[in-house]
Amino acid sequence: MKLNSLLFTSLAMLSLATVGQTEKQPIKEDTWHNPINYKQEIIESIKKSPFLKTSPSFLLQRSATDVKAVARPTFPDFEFVNGINMAWDKFSSDIGYEVTPTYTTEYHPNWAHFSNVFESVANSGGNVVRWWFHTDGATSPVFDKNDEFVVENPDFFLTDLKTLLDLAVEKKIKVQICLWSFDMLKGGPGRWRVNSARNKKILTSDAHLQAYLDNSLVPLVKAIGNHPGLYAWELFNEPEGMTTEYASHWPDFTDKVSITDIQKTVNKMASAIRNAQPGVKITNGALGFISGVDNLIFGYHNNYTDARLAEKGGKSDGYLDFYNIHYYDWAKESGSPFHNTFASTNLDKPTIIAEYYPQDTFGVTVDQLGPELINKGWHGTLVWSWTDKGWDAMKKAVKSTTEALDEITLNISDFSSLESKISIYPNPVVEAVNITSISKKISEITICDIAGNHIFNKKLNGAIETTIDLTRFLAGTYIISLKSANVSKVLKKKFVKI
């Protein structure tokens, strides 16, 4: 049944609008609805997990040939992501529609709050905000009168989404829209309007998934198109939390599925989005290295490679454009992106560390978290979270990352301060760095690591160009110093070895 736009009130309302309202009772806002420490409950559960002590049987049964090293790729066109998780203002109801026998309610974003979040991040040099939409299905998408199949969106869903992205453009920010969270299978008492049995069918029934794709997701994707305020469509937040393989011990779930159900659904959703709007980015939020990286020694398994998704869902175009991996201290140093390089994981796509607390982490101070991700060759950072930790805690992490990025020119081509034309490429570099001087001769090259230790020195006697073999260099950030035969100054710039 089409929900007519005439039913809905003006979008100018800042927070909440209601229509067709009779005998409306105040909505109970419990502590879970906008939790202060949303992630902490899960973190404590995982720390007690037997999964961390022994690999589950479904991983141990895989042969070593299932994990193959890949050539270390470079992604020169992938701009480093520096931002935060919002992740919501009103949990699961920033944009939503509630229908009961006695009243009907629309939920609209608090535009003043969204404006403040976007502006704060942009003013600190950030470029992406991660925001959750359906979350647990409490107020979106809309289901039929039998609470069974997803039906067409209210018109204001699209209006609000476009307005949100327009606001992002105005504030010079992009938004990563996370559609669902593992919370969709947390029903029962205290879980406001969450029907986990109904939501589970989207993950396990082709007919129910198709109704969601046809009536809700694809129309939104087509209408949003390649909006300049959209960074990416993210399919799920930590969907492994809904599975018996990874999270049988997680509390408060009223339903569970298998990791195969998740892979199949990710594959089909990605395919539907890609066909509806070619060119938009698609990603998925993995729980950690444990579910997003291949490493048989630690029992890690990347569930989201192109081949594994296609195998489960049958769609060759149902792949991700980049990975999102989360990190909390339950994963310790072995599962930490602050202590392990991107290259060491053999991941085949750009990878953003899309959740982590803004706090000192196993010897890495909060102001060095972002810079360390840069140094280790990762492709972005999204700190958790405005709702959970507040802006003051995250601001230091965002600003320190901005300052580190300001010191690194990822596409170095012109150093006019030396009154010369010198190119250093590629950057990041895998095997060798090329240095070319158009108008000035280079007399000496020195390379130091980030701590200032001299790693390499070579006198060139006025060369115009040279190539430096870096295959024996460890992954990380280095400082290259160039002396020109004709200019007394020394050029110093950073480059990244991956």
* Residue 401 shares a structural domain with residue 437: no
* Residue 436 shares a structural domain with residue 382: no
In the beta sheet, which residues pair with residue 447? 456, 480
Are residues 217 and 161 in contact, defined by beta-carbon separation less than 8 angstroms? no
Query: Token pair of 88, please?
Result: 């919501």
* Residue 76 shares a structural domain with residue 178: yes
Query: Which of 350, 383, 407 is where one domain is finished?
Result: 407
pLDDT computed for residue 132 by the predictor: 98
Are residues 243 and 203 in contact, defined by beta-carbon separation less than 8 angstroms? no
Alpha-carbon distance 270 to 236, whole Å? 11
* Residue 79 shares a structural domain with residue 121: yes
Domain of residue 424, residue span: 416-497
* Residue 368 shares a structural domain with residue 287: yes
Number of H helices, E strands in the chain: 13, 18
pLDDT in tens, the chain (498 residues): 433 333 333 333 333 333 333 333 334 444 345 666 788 878 887 887 665 544 444 444 433 334 344 444 567 678 899 999 999 999 999 999 998 888 899 999 999 999 999 999 999 999 999 999 999 999 999 999 999 999 999 999 999 999 999 999 999 999 999 999 999 999 888 788 999 999 999 999 999 999 999 999 999 999 999 999 999 999 999 999 999 999 988 888 999 999 999 999 999 999 999 999 999 999 999 999 999 999 988 889 999 999 999 999 999 999 999 999 999 999 999 999 999 999 899 999 999 999 999 999 999 999 999 999 988 889 999 999 999 899 999 999 999 999 888 765 433 333 344 434 567 788 888 888 888 765 456 778 888 887 677 888 888 776 667 888 988 888 888 888 877 655 545 677 788 888
The count of C-alpha atoms lying within 13 angstroms of the C-alpha of 5, restricted to the half-sphere facing its C-beta, is: 8
Are residues 168 and 129 in contact, defined by beta-carbon separation less than 8 angstroms? yes
Total tally of structural domains belonging to the chain? 2
β-sheet with 16-19: strand ranges across: 16-19, 104-107, 96-99
pLDDT computed for residue 485 by the predictor: 58
* Residue 426 shares a structural domain with residue 391: no
* Residue 479 shares a structural domain with residue 341: no
CATH number at residue 472: 2.60.40.3080
* Residue 381 shares a structural domain with residue 460: no
* Residue 225 shares a structural domain with residue 327: yes
pLDDT computed for residue 478 by the predictor: 86
Integer Rg of the chain from CA:
24
Query: Which of 384, 407, 430 is where one domain is finished?
Result: 407
Regarding beta strands 454-463 and 442-449, do their DSSP bridges make them parallel or antiparallel, or are they unpaired?
Answer: antiparallel
pLDDT computed for residue 476 by the predictor: 84
* Residue 129 shares a structural domain with residue 171: yes
DSSP letters for 144-188: -TTS-SB-PPPHHHHHHHHHHHHHHHHTT-EEEEEEEEGGGG--S
Which pTM was predicted?
Answer: 0.78
Q: State the Cα torsion 360-352-133-391 to the nearest 10°.
A: 30
- H/E segment holding residue 232: strand 230-237
Query: Which of 383, 407, 431 is where one domain is finished?
Result: 407
- Provide the strand spans (E) within 252-307: 282-286
* Residue 378 shares a structural domain with residue 422: no
DSSP 197: H
Distances 301 to 286, 461, 497 between C-alpha atoms, Å: 11, 51, 25
* Residue 473 shares a structural domain with residue 365: no
Alpha-carbon distance 309 to 236, whole Å? 14
Query: Token pair of 105, please?
Result: 């309610």
CATH number at residue 303: 3.20.20.80
Place of tokens 């280095």: 478
Alpha-carbon distance 317 to 279, whole Å? 12
